[in-house]
Amino acid sequence: MKVKTLGQFIIEKQSDFPYAKGELSRLLRDIGIAGKIVNREVSKAGLVEILGETGEVNVQGEKVKKLDVFANEQFIAAFKAGGEVCAIASEENDDIIPIDSEISKNAKYVVAMDPLDGSSNIDVNVSVGTIFSIYRRTSLSGAGTINDFMQRGTEQVAAGYIIYGSSCMLVYTTGKGVNGFTLDPSIGEFCLSHPNMRTPQNGNVYSVNEGNYLHFPTGVKKYIKYCQEEDKATNRPFSSRYIGSGVADIHRNLITGGIYIYPTTTKSPKGKLRLLYECNPLAFILEQAGGIASNGNKRIMELDITELHQRTPLFLGSSEMVKVALDFMEKYKEAEV
């Protein structure tokens, strides 16, 4: 069987964007390269000194692990060296990183990313991931500004994630379906392994941190009980699967069918996950694969964004499952007021 590498695939697909001059292709290729370097470090995590906490606290108030810092630096360096990006937003940085260099003076894009999602899982050998989202800049020239990021998810040009798991995979979309590439370590290339990924309309997995149950909205509590009830026709009870590493949970559900929920809680009344670099890119991928992404009553990609690190609740996954969860949210919305 002839193997198709990420590089070959990107070149082939470039004709999908007749107005583009190859910058997006180069940007995606740069992300693949940085991802390989991060994968190399993640797979050595148990071996080397790099493991452990730096002691710093990131803008979300969480302790930063060394690999988060490494991944952040690696992707930033790749974007700066590539010249296609005029600003970066990262979970690890309070403010945007403007880029104004000789090679980036014609840069058309901005990138938002979570360089290492699920990082509390690194030191226990559980999959982690990188999430990225690419927008066309709205500013005219020079370094990008924060306004370049204040765009709805529907404006994304491309989005994807890299999962550092039992194998390393890069999954991305440019709005024409979703394709997945698995890293073949023997040749050091991402190879097309999951062309045109579609998520099943229905599944039997629900993923939510049930430890927070008491603090969930009534609609979510009722939906969880629904998942646990016996019903032959709908194949219930569903299985509960929650890794606590969003990319891993969502990747599995994308393939097998399922729903991922991170609702509001009394502790996090706006939810935990971030709209710009977690929910919007994952929503774009899931929608492109035939799924649904909602905040409980609105489509994620149509939410207005006003802050870089804005949070939102998330209901994401197989269309039929998400629809049922949203029906519960609608039915019990009065219970919250």
By CB under 6 A, name the binding residues for ligand AHM.
62, 91, 114, 117-119, 209, 244-246, 249, 272
Query: Whole-number minimum distance, CB 285 to ligand AHM, in Å?
Result: 15
| Ranges of H-type helices in 104-245 | 218-228
Q: Which residue is nearest to Mg ion (CB)?
A: 117
Q: What is the smallest separation between the CB atom of 263 and ligand AHM, expressed in angstroms? A: 11
User: Which option in ligand AHM, Mg ion, none does residue 195 bind, with CB closer than 5 to 8 A by kind?
Assistant: none
Residue closer to ligand AHM, measured from CB, 60 or 101: 60
Q: What sign has the CA pseudo-torsion 180, 172, 43, 252? A: negative
How near is the Cβ of 147 to ligand AHM at its closest, in Å? 24
Instruction: Answer yes or no whether residue 114 interacts with Mg ion by CB under 5 A.
Output: yes
CB of 328 to ligand AHM, least distance (A): 20
Task: Kindly tell me which of 20 and 255 has the beta carbon lying closer to ligand AHM.
Answer: 255
Burial label, 98 (beta-carbon count in 10 A; 0-12, 13-18, 19+):
middle
Q: Does 117 bind Mg ion (CB under 5 A)?
A: yes
Measure the CA–CA gap between 229 and 30, rounded to whole angstroms: 47
Taking the C-alpha atoms of residue 29 and residue 27, their distance in angstroms, rounded to an integer, is 5
CA atoms within 13 A on the CB side of 292: 21
Nearest distance in Å: CB 116, ligand AHM: 7
Query: Rounded to the nearest whole angstrom, what is the least distance from the CB of residue 91 to Mg ion in the complex?
Result: 6
CA 275: distance to chain centroid?
10
| Residue 180 bridge partners (DSSP) | 171, 194
H helices of the chain, where? 6-13, 23-43, 66-82, 218-228, 246-256, 280-288, 319-331
With respect to ligand AHM, which residue has the nearer C-beta, 147 or 213?
213
Q: Which does 62 bind (CB under 5 to 8 A by kind): ligand AHM, Mg ion, none?
A: ligand AHM
Distance of alpha carbon 110 from alpha carbon 76, whole angstroms: 12
Binding mask 67-106 for Mg ion (x = CB under 5 A): ----------------------------------------
Contacted by 144, from Mg ion, ligand AHM, none: CB < 5 to 8 Å by type = none
CA atoms of 102 and 142, how far apart (whole Å): 10
Say how far apart CA 139 and CA 121 lie, in whole Å: 38
Residue closest to ligand AHM when measured from CB atoms = 246
Rule CB under 5 A: which residues touch Mg ion? 114, 117
